[in-house]
Chain A
Amino acid sequence: MNLGLLGVVLIIAVALLFDFINGMHDAANSIATVVGTRVLRPFQAVIWAAFFNFAAVFVFGLSVANTVGKGVIDTKIVDERVILAALVGAIVWDMLTWFWGLPSSSSHALVGGLVGAAVVKAGWGAVVTSGLEKTGIFIVVSPILGFILATLVASALRALFRNTRPALANPVFRRLQLLSAAAYSLAHGSNDSQKTMGVISVLLLSTGHLGGHFHVPLWVIVACYTSIALGTLAGGWRIVRTMGSRLTPLEPYGGFSAELSAATSIVYAAQLGVPVSTTHTIAGAIAGVGAARRASAVRWRLAQSIVWAWILTIPAAAGVAGLIWLLLHLVPS
């Protein structure tokens, strides 16, 4: 399939749409705790999160984009059909899990989509095993790390503030949540935008629009950050089924602990170039805050569904993308 420039533009539009949907879907994670604890009104919170989603462009490197672009599948087998199948596979899986109410990860769905389309096209040899292995391990590590860190931070803060009047402590943590929510939004923008940058860049490379070597052009960086920020802005209050209150009720100190722990975990993974699920990481961190209070404060049934999403997302998105690649293969070039 060689669609020419128009085809490339269309696939980039689909990739940016994926980024937009990602921002819209994850707006809940970025603003749930600040809205839930009344630090900001929903609209203010959405603007706050969108701004810091975009501001990530000035703060972080492009390690995740490089991993998604050339560290998951062999760039030599990439063409428009593989990218389109991967994107559509990821979007379809995201929509299905949204419909089923499973907290799926669009990062993992995209990685799964790339792997599925590449394997169907060129066999297992097309998969960069080390990149996939690292991503697979961090699927488990990142939420548990969020959980551990949030438990420790929340326990330390509870110990320190155990005798402080709520009327004094709550306003302090409500203001601090502005910082932690900003940190989380920066981390989210960085991790989630970069995977789309990687996909667009590898598409440009495979179609000869990027010169001889893989890199992420500036316009791709700006487009992706803009797209995710606009998605977050469009997310609004309607889509906020607060991850915070669904897993465990949060107080301001809990929101601060969860967001800060999740943000640092995501940024750490981003510096290593590993695409992680921001949803799973914040969910792990929120569960950690609940567990710091007492284990039964966490709704483990929801945590269980997150574990299922860990297990299923990559193979399922790979399967959907593989099928879509086969369908696209039937389309004459």
Chain B
Amino acid sequence: MFERFTATARRTLVAAQQEARALGHHYLGTEHLLLGLFAEGGGMAGRVLSDLGVRAEAVRTEIIRIIGHAAPDEPDADALRSIGIDLEAVRRRVEESFGPGALDPPLRGRCRRGPFNELPLTPRSKEALQRAVETARALGSDQARTEHVLLGVLAVDKGLGVKILLRLGVEPEQARAAVAREVGAVVPVKGRSSRARARRGQVRGARRAPKWVRPGERRCSFCGRWGTQVRRLIAGPGVFICERCVDLCNRIIEERR
């Protein structure tokens, strides 16, 4: 999926992950995507949002207000000191016997995450990223840029990303117009309906792609490559998988065995 984003856009996605982790969230939602757009060197989207008066700190505060912090996955040194435990001393002793970094939180539940240990996308953030790629394509760009990611987030009305912007006094329409001004192009307000995309074999949920879609209209549900870009595309109920992803899956299973 990530090869369809520019380096800068990818950086904002990585930043989104870090923000989600820092909040102790175990998933990547549209709210995190929005927050990621403020990352250092975050490109046009960050600039557009700043110009609209949206601050990263305000977005973060809203997320915490709505969702809250999840339980931290690292011990709190100050809290431990209050009951007489010196976390640094414990860390030193543990590292003496188990090696450096032994006390760092383990990568939990890796299997449930993607192959690169990224947090799982929520259905809405997945849709936002799909919209980003589609919008990029509609605007004649192979790879999605940060502004396309923003447009993708804006396209998911029910997502927390849009809700937070609204709470901060920014209408999606306003943000879309701001992007259009920067890009100097008319931005499609809405992509195709999900039903239309399902018909074209761009699978969402369990909506079955009909059998008559041509290979060029089917894509791997995992990496997003089109049927014409892969050697083999295997169909399941509502999903497809290409031979590369099957290999990757096998490698992961083998490694974790």
Chain A bound to chain B? no
Residues of B within 8 A of A (CB): none
Interface of A toward B, CB cutoff 8 Å:
none
